[in-house]
Amino acid sequence: MSEDNRPFGSRTRAVRAGTVRSQFNEHSEALFLTSSFVFDSAEQAARRFAGQEEGYVYSRFSNPTVRMFEQRLAELEGGQDCLATASGMSAILTLCLAHLKAGDHVVCGSNVFGATVQLFSNVLARFGIEASYVQGSEPAAWRAAARSRTRLLFCETPSNPMMEVTDLEAFASLGRELGALTVVDNCFCTPVLQRPLQYGVDVVMHTGTKFLDGQGRVLGGALVGRADFIRETLLPALRTTGPSLSPFNAWVLLKGLETLPLRINAQSASALQLARWLQSHPAVARVLYTGLESHPQHALAQRQQHGFGAVVAFELKATQSEARPRAWRLIDAVRLLSITANLGDTRSTITHPASTTHGRLAPEVRQRAGISESLVRIAVGLEDVEDLQHDLERGLQA
């Protein structure tokens, strides 16, 4: 979206991109809550079904409200096109159904979202697709995990909750070398803070459920990339299998995107302030946040991100046996932060990864991933940062 070939900034795109008005010339985007569309004639119906004429047919694969969301998100990511899905997980599923077949191999970061690992290991494995997991973000380790049938490289950066950063340029270049599709889960940064396509990554995957909605209301997901891949490879798979985004959810997400740049920048600024304060707190052993100079990949994050995001993790000072009760006492003492594993909301949340999001992992796997019993993760919302600090101080003294 541009005028006189001068590209618009994120804030302009967030409120303007993708809008298409109906015959009524409404200012705010319309919600087309309809499952199907009517044709002028039998001949037009036939042309639409055959794909010989542009136009809407049936909302499993074409709906104007969903399309507006797709185009707005594509513009924000700097991608040619976008395909919306019912959730973040169904975005990954659709991608795998469309791109992989039995005998193919996937290389995936070991630090990705838990359900992503379960999808590869428990579901797709039954259909003959194998996955290997790589610790850390060293390109050499990723290359070593590749096989002749490797068709997909999947990473999430920064990762949750350890905030490991993957070098996007090196990741994309390895994908090209191996002839494998590179996919980045861009949940934590959103297109406002990081645009992986700029670095040569093939596909950006999103959950709409977190920062894109930003207000904890709906599930949604999306895949952004080259137009031919989206329209000719991904869309046919979605059209047939049906994990499609509801027009209602698309409308909520479309509205969510309008305030995304303002929200994520404000939430990141508060997160940095809290991370610095936590780092100097006597009850805190260490803080994991890419915005701190103490983060081992701070320079890389600074190079490829336009900000550090709203999620901060920290470890409390405690002996081995005291660690879990210490973390739980903090969580139980706070009154403002919500105890929930969700993130990306306007309301700040707090969680204990070792007993919730990562509780089902075997203890040694959890330990290898660095998720200790004293680790607490907060996702900073839009409250006054002084109020959040006061609330956390109460917990740290508990």
Ligand X SMILES: *Cc1c(COP(=O)(O)O)cnc(C)c1O
Binding-site member from 14, 74, 82, 89 for ligand X (CB under 6 A): 89
How many angstroms separate the most distant Cα atoms in the chain?
A: 75
Question: Tokens 């509801």 belong to which residue?
Answer: 246
Binding-site member from 87, 111, 290, 374 for ligand X (CB under 6 A): 87
Residue 379 Cβ, how far from ligand X at the closest point, in Å?
A: 10
Binding-site member from 29, 185, 315, 373 for ligand X (CB under 6 A): 185
Q: How far apart are CA 346 and CA 274, in angstroms?
A: 16
Query: Which one, of 84, 37, 58, lies nearest residue 234 by Cα?
Result: 84
Residues 262-291 that bind ligand X (CB under 6 A): none
Could you report how far apart the first and last alpha carbons of the chain are, in Å? 52
Question: Tokens 């079904």 belong to which residue?
Answer: 49
Nearer to ligand X, 56 or 113 (CB): 113
293 alpha-carbon distance from chain centroid: 24
Strand partners, 314: 287, 376
Residue 292 Cβ, how far from ligand X at the closest point, in Å?
A: 21
Nearer to ligand X, 253 or 337 (CB): 253
Query: Which one, of 343, 100, 53, lies nearest residue 207 by Cα?
Result: 343
Applying CB under 6 A, the site for ligand X has a residue count of: 14
Residue 93 Cβ, how far from ligand X at the closest point, in Å?
A: 9
CB atoms within 10 A of CB 222: 26
Q: Quote the tokens at residue 245.
A: 């985004």
Should residue 156 be labelled a site residue for ligand X when binding is judged by CB under 6 A? yes
Q: Quote the tokens at residue 105.
A: 């191999």
Binding-site member from 157, 166, 182, 209 for ligand X (CB under 6 A): 209
Nearer to ligand X, 123 or 398 (CB): 123
Should residue 207 be labelled a site residue for ligand X when binding is judged by CB under 6 A? yes
Residue 378 Cβ, how far from ligand X at the closest point, in Å?
A: 14
Residue 113 Cβ, how far from ligand X at the closest point, in Å?
A: 4
Nearer to ligand X, 48 or 99 (CB): 99
Binding-site member from 221, 256, 261, 307 for ligand X (CB under 6 A): 221
With b for 16 or more beta-carbon neighbours within 10 A and e for fewer, the 76-104 pattern comes to bbbbebbbbbbbbbbbbbbbbbbbbeeeb
Nearer to ligand X, 326 or 358 (CB): 358
CB atoms within 10 A of CB 371: 23
Nearer to ligand X, 172 or 219 (CB): 219
Length of the chain: 398
Binding-site member from 113, 120, 154, 229 for ligand X (CB under 6 A): 113
Nearer to ligand X, 220 or 395 (CB): 220
Nearer to ligand X, 139 or 243 (CB): 243
Should residue 357 be labelled a site residue for ligand X when binding is judged by CB under 6 A? no
Should residue 187 be labelled a site residue for ligand X when binding is judged by CB under 6 A? yes
Handedness of CA 118, 119, 124, 130 (dihedral sign): negative
Question: Tokens 């952004």 belong to which residue?
Answer: 224
Name the site residues for ligand X (rule: CB under 6 A): 87-89, 113, 115, 156, 160, 185, 187, 207, 209-210, 219, 221
